[in-house]
Structure 1
Amino acid sequence: MNAIDYKQFYNTVGRMNGWDFSRLNVTVEGSAWNFYDEVTSLCKPGDILLDIGTGGGESLLSITDSALLLIGIDQSKGMMETAANNLKKSGRSNVRFLQMEASQLQFPPDFFNMISCRHSEFYAGEAARVLASDGVFLTQQVSEHDKMNLKQAFGRGQAWEGEKGELKTRYISELKEAGFSRIQALEYNATEYYQTAEDLVFLLKYTPIVPDFGQNEMDFQILRQFIEEHQTEKGIRTNSERFMIIARK
């Protein structure tokens, strides 16, 4: 999926669902952390937090007590429409959502105490510019071998041709070049069990794991075969591979 196709896909998903996967019935075994728990553990009550690629704001709205002001940005108009609706429902007064490109952060230098970025592209130089001295940057990203058995079944997928660890290595290098120090990298490869075929279809429909899923009838034949081969007593098995980088300016 090229950049233009991905933006169109992401915008459509934003209007339809936001970035909310709480309805999925999935069991995860072996995950080493919860990203936004890590964010809140490093937040101070007087901090100003920036969340890059906030989607529909679901995760940011769940940690509003952790900082003085929380600002979520996303390049997608559809996601921002969903985020605005979610904010209105929440009744929270210390959260703002802004449509903005991560490559051009429209904030003054040294404005934020903390920056988080989950499963979204970021630009290390821009993050360094708007982060205060001794501020913390955290990102969690999807590793190349995530959902590997699904990608193998379909013969295509997100980062399908990428080498394992390639993205992590690039991001660490970019953060170092931007002036970040005390960079820590963690990773895990957990097992996921999706309870029903509908759960798996929802995942594939609203994520870019298998680009253009469902546009060809053959996709559903492949999925049926995949489910037969990976059905267990716990559910339909696949994997969740993630890495997290924590860096201080």
Structure 2
Amino acid sequence: MKTTELFDMFLKQEDEPFSGWDFSFIGSTGRVQNSLLPWSYCSKVLPMMKSAETMLDMGTGGGELLSKLRPFPAKTYATEGYEPNIKIAQQTLEPLGVKVKSFKDDDSLPFSNHQFDLIINKHESYSEKEIFRILKSGGMFLTQQVGGFDCLEINEILQAPIQQEYLDWNLENAARKLKDNGFNILETDEAFPTQRFFDVGALIYYLKAIPWQIEDFSVSAYRDQLFQVHQMIEKNGFIDVKQHRFLLVATPQ
């Protein structure tokens, strides 16, 4: 297949549906691959769940990950703020006994003071004050976050604006904010694993799923730059970008 014909085929990935928080369309097929982190989020969550009676999963997406972490504590809740995901999460989690709550504002979660033994959070925003309010004394907050330097090479390659407001989101600043809001920090880690794209269609699908990376992204707006990426991949076999991840475990003082 000619370069331009293959490129036109990959451009159609813009129209592929994306639901919940499921990247298997490009991940399970090996079209995008990530290098390993020095920790496992789920391996840290599971022992904490064993000793918890009440748990909250923040930003559950479509419930894909939480549904695999059974057995749940006796009272388990999940939040989701993205409207299309709420029904998906309810359909996935509520038959398993998890109550799914929608919310609009990190500073106003629909829970009582000191309600949870354990709050887990993977790649979801949060308010330190609100976490402190709803977490029990002696409770645990575990979060894995996407740092502000995540995949900036994508923006550079496509000559797209970088979202400046996220650049200071890193382990040091996140830990400081938790300390300032009454937490003791129990564990930290930070890493910059590689994310590898093997075709430009996988990159297009990825960018449509995470619109905050390039806010004005569309195939029509970035067609020329995408063709350059396509040519780079045809020459080298892939393109690599650096992800940014950090882990925090904290408890109220």
TM over 0.5: yes
SS in 2 for 1:217: coil
1:134-153 alignment, distance < 5 Å: 134-153=138-157
Amino acid at match of 1:236: I
Partners of 2:59 and 2:78 in 1: CA distance: 7
Pairwise CA distance, 1:162: 4.8
* Bigger mean CA deviation after superposition, 61-70 or 47-56: 61-70
CA contact 1:143–1:241 (8 Å) conserved in 2: yes
Superposition CA RMSD, Å: 2.5
TM-score by length of 2: 0.80
Residue 55 of structure 1: CA displacement? Answer: 1.7
CA distance in 1, matches of 2:225, 2:188: 35
Secondary structure of 2:76's partner?
strand
- Please, which of 31, 34, 40 is the counterpart of residue 40 of structure 2? 34
> Is 135-144 or 67-76 further displaced after alignment?
67-76
The Cα offsets for residues 146-195 of structure 1, whole Å up to 9 and x where unpaired, read as 112111123335644654x5443332222112211134321111112223
Could you tell me which of 19, 22, 33 is aligned with 2:21? 19
In structure 2, the residue matched to 1:103 is 107
Matches of 2:102 and 2:233 in 1, distance apart?
A: 40
What's 1:132 paired with?
136
Alignment correspondent of 1:220: 223
Q: Deviations over 1:18-75 (max 9, x none)?
A: 1111222322223222323322232225432111122222111121314333211122
In structure 1, the gaps of 5 or more residues are: 1-14
Q: Sequence identity, in percent?
A: 24
Residues in 1 aligned to 2:134 and 2:119: alpha-carbon distance in whole angstroms: 9
Give the distance between the partners of 2:163 and 2:184, measured in 1 at CA. Answer: 28
Count residues with an aligned counterpart: 230
Alignment partners' CA distance in 1, 2:85 and 2:25: 18
Q: Does 1:195 align with 2:201?
A: no
Query: Structure 1 CA distance, aligned partners of 2:52 and 2:63?
Result: 20
Distance 1:232 1:47 in 2: 54
SS state of the match for residue 225, structure 2? helix
TM-aligned CA deviation for residue 131 of structure 1: 0.8
Residue 85 (structure 1) aligned to one of 85, 88, 91: 91
The separation in 1 between residues aligned to 2:159 and 2:237, in whole angstroms, is 25
Query: 1:171 is matched with which residue?
Result: 174
Alignment CA distance shift 1:161-1:178 (3 Å): closer
Which structure has the larger Rg?
2
